Amino acid sequence: MISKVLPTTVKNPNIIIINHSLAQQLGLNFSSLNNNQLARLFTGNDIPEGSDPLAQAYAGHQFGHLVILGDGRAIVLGEHITPTKQRYDIQFKGSGRTPYSRGGDGKAALGPMLREYIISEAMYHLNIRTTRSLAVATTGENVMRETVLPGAILTRVAESHIRVGTFEYVAIKRDIQTLKKLLQYSIERHYPEIKDLDKQAPEFLKLVLERQIDLITDWMRVGFIHGVMNTDNMSISGESIDFGPCAFMDYYNPKTVFSSIDHHGRYAFGNQPSIAQWNLARLADAILPLLDEDQNKAIDVGEEIIHSFKEKYERKFHKMMKKKLGLITDEADDVILIQELLDTMEKNKLD
């Protein structure tokens, strides 16, 4: 599931931006380091003491098709414990090739890394669960994309990088013991409130579903379109992760798509709730042997949980919309009123 790998050293590192507010929250103090030392630190030329860098393997349904993937250009430096005892992954993005690069160069361009920095911090300040960005540094090297671009490395902070695709990867291997260990680790790290040993897997699935409902509702609240809601881009912690062709919608249109390769609108704004449910069904498939020893009962348990998504999401969404509209009391026609508003906004191309 992991491969130990070091970041590729770079020629002329230079620090572009450091998120000092986040650093303070993490309990990190860089005041004793000069710019050159910071640049070397945030490009991987200098590895922090205690780090044991690794790249993770995972699978993913990309536009509905299952493929084996992994961190092709990302390396986790390690876990960091904050002064308040919270645990976070510290990860480089764009730090060179890994065993999962699949022919890619493992590098990243400055523009997209700055864009992820800005969007992830915007999401955080919009009170949406998200990975965050600690720093961006340039490498002093060029990367070839459609044109020649300056190379850069983003330092990302996440509650973890365990994805739905991580569970899919283990399920494909049919390694039940590793699947149990992954589930146990995920529960200990993200859902320690689960105490019933006999119902760990069903309770885990329920809680992941609840967090995804909260997350998608928040996306819909601000008009955010992720763009590539593949299962490898769904974190079991409920954080927004992997900001690629994402954007905030201008005028309201549920069919809005920002990914240049999403020709059929699979990941359009209005489809995000149903795609989240579909992805969660893939998580249920992956942990099916742990839901119940009897396969038929396991299927029933999984289906019951997944089928609860629609009603729970709609209740959460309408509660959010009522709050935005200042509707204090519950009225029978609230749902109709909300839908009429959205229809009017779409018809008149209102923001």
Residues serving a catalytic function are: 232
286-301: b (≥16 Cβ within 10 Å) or e: bbbebbbeeeeebeeb
3-state secondary structure of 24: helix
E strand residue ranges, 170-232:
224-225
Task: Give the chain's radius of gyration (CA, Å).
Answer: 21
C-alpha distance from residue 327 to each of 72, 136, 340, 345 (Å)? 47, 43, 15, 18
User: Do residues 267 and 255 make contact, with C-beta atoms less than 8 angstroms apart?
Assistant: no
Closest CA to 240 of 119, 141, 348, 155: 119
Determine the Cα–Cα distance for residues 52 and 49; give it in Å rounded to an integer: 9
CA angle 291, 293, 295 (to 5 degrees): 80
